[in-house]
Amino acid sequence: AQSVTQLDSHVSVSEGTPVLLRCNYSSSYSPSLFWYVQHPNKGLQLLLKYTSAATLVKGINGFEAEFKKSETSFHLTKPSAHMSDAAEYFCVVIPGYSSASKIIFGSGTRLSIRP
């Protein structure tokens, strides 16, 4: 079965320190992987996506993620957190064996930034 697990429901970091949001997936096929961000009372916005090209993917607002097939992980990182990064982050997997592959969202990680 295909699945995605976000290992932390809540992460809190100080402003200016690194951010790490962890995501593991399970897929029998070459997956497409995404990170979306959801600010309060706003729609989901794409941060970055992996679609079988370079394993290190750079996204908006200084975020990046690395696809590690051997570890079935797609962790999201940022070198220095900013107050505006406080939001809910979702890891998404699409197994990729057909155009109708079931899209699976993780349960989300709430990122808090301490001044």
Partner 1 sequence: EAGVAQSPRYKIIEKRQSVAFWCNPISGHATLYWYQQILGQGPKLLIQFQNNGVVDDSQLPKDRFSAERLKGVDSTLKIQPAKLEDSAVYLCASSLDAATAGQGDQETQYFGPGTRLLVL
Point out which residues bind partner 1 (CB under 8 A): 30-32, 34, 36, 41-46, 49, 51-52, 90, 94, 96-103, 105-108
Q: Which residue(s) pair with 46 in the sheet?
A: 36
Distance of CA 2 to the CA centre of its chain: 16
CB of 54 vs partner 1, minimal distance in Å: 13
- Comparing CB distances to partner 1, the nearer of 49 and 62 is 49
Residues 98, 75, 52, 50, Cα dihedral to 10°: 70
Q: Can you read off the two tokens belonging to residue 19?
A: 């951010």
CB of 55 vs partner 1, minimal distance in Å: 13
Q: Can you read off the two tokens belonging to residue 74?
A: 């797609």
CB of 31 vs partner 1, minimal distance in Å: 8
- Comparing CB distances to partner 1, the nearer of 70 and 99 is 99
